[in-house]
Structure 1
Amino acid sequence: MEKRTALITGGGSGIGLTIARAFALAGVTPVLAGRSKARLEAAAANIEGAAFVPLDVTCEESVQHAFSHLTTAGYEPDILVNNAGAAATASFERTDIATWQAMLDVNLTGAFLCARAALPTMKKRGFGRVVTIASTAGLKGYAYTAAYAAAKHGVIGMTRSLALELAGTGVTANTVCPGFTDTDIVQSSIQNIVEKTGRSEKEALEALTKHNPEKRLIAPEEVADTVLWLAGERASAINGQAVAVACGEIM
């Protein structure tokens, strides 16, 4: 994997930052992308050889500008990790149209825009990997997450369709579907449960992990290792798959 370049959206923190570190250790040049230039700059400074590019995945113009910059700077990605995402919770009837659209924009349309921008160079080179971080919510759904689950189901369907078009090109497209992972987003969800229900943090955590046979959060490193495998040369036969990283949770 040496001499490859990986673009990781949402790379300034959480799972994305952990993935970037894993790539760097494998000899891949990680390019961190996200909306906060300051956060990206600080994160990249702590990863040897890393670069960064400001990017709003929900804006087509921003995606086009970022990829143009990467081409000029010599950082066209061989590997794209669509990690940027957000999760909003509400009952179905209390989910307003703004929340619904926001979940589709960042989790689904963002992955579409970035993949579309990355594919021409990948196909020309005869090698490429598009790995999108989905969720177990994209495989089964959970209560109070209709908009998020719909977006994650959508990105899995998009990836499966894309994989069929890419067959024989040397480019693959797959999704990784983690269960609840130990990130700031999940910690915020725990605090939200505590504030809204009066449960303790322990009880809130138990509620989130009740479907996990091991009754624990997934470690970001476990997600990163799966992405690293899918991005490798020897994963060329893995295409159009939704790989669950969920301790055996039944989908």
Structure 2
Amino acid sequence: MKSQALAEILINPYNHQSVHTTEALNFEDTSGNNIPVFNGIPDFLSLEEVNGLNKKYQHLYDRFSRFSNIAERIMALFIDLNRLRRKWMTDVEVRPGYKVLETSVGTGWNIKVLPDFAEYYGLDISGGMLRQAVRNKLKWNREMQLFKGNAEYLPFKDHTFDSVFHVGGINFFNDRQRAIREMIRVAKPGTRIVIIDETAEHVRKQYRRIPFVKNYFSSEAEEVRAVAPVDLVPAEMRELEVKLMERGRMYQLSFRTV
């Protein structure tokens, strides 16, 4: 996507000022704050010092990103991952011409299984995962515009997207309520928002047994967050629904904006 056209939907998420392109092909807000672009990815995280749980799990995903595609290939020997992801994506609304946003896009595998007649945008806090996403989209010949940023501060103007979804990660955001409100803010009226993440039981039985990641999931105080955050969805949202998937290992929270 050309920088000038992209600038039309972007803001500095920390002051909500509009942005424009610079001669160096970066972005800049009206106060002169610079948003650098690396490998085609605008880096809005350069405006923030990451801390708390966000920093902890950013570190985890940066480490894991080096092995993500290898892990995908090994898992694919036992599970049809494309079929599994299509099942997860069943309630994500995608129609021709839609602008679709995935927060915590990771390496892009969820977007891969969605129809190619929409415009896809993905944001992640992990530079390592985004680097893998760039490689994947070239390998798959799949268009998706990527951003480095914090899902609690989305760098998009109000009412930009026709569909918004999230798979994995929100359980351990610093501020889950703010992240949900940001999804709502950037969605058009009537947009369906879908949030999927692991349940506490899955975190306890699976992640705490994996040597590489178990130390990141050792806190019981964090484990209690691994439930569908229904209470954080504004009361005025419509069609609120929660369901368990994969034999209780995952939950899906969905609703429609007003």
TM-score range, shorter chain: 0.3 to 0.5
- Bigger relative contact order (CA 8 A; separation at least 6): 1
Higher helix share: 1
Q: TM-score with structure 1 length normalisation?
A: 0.45
Q: TM-score with structure 2 length normalisation?
A: 0.44
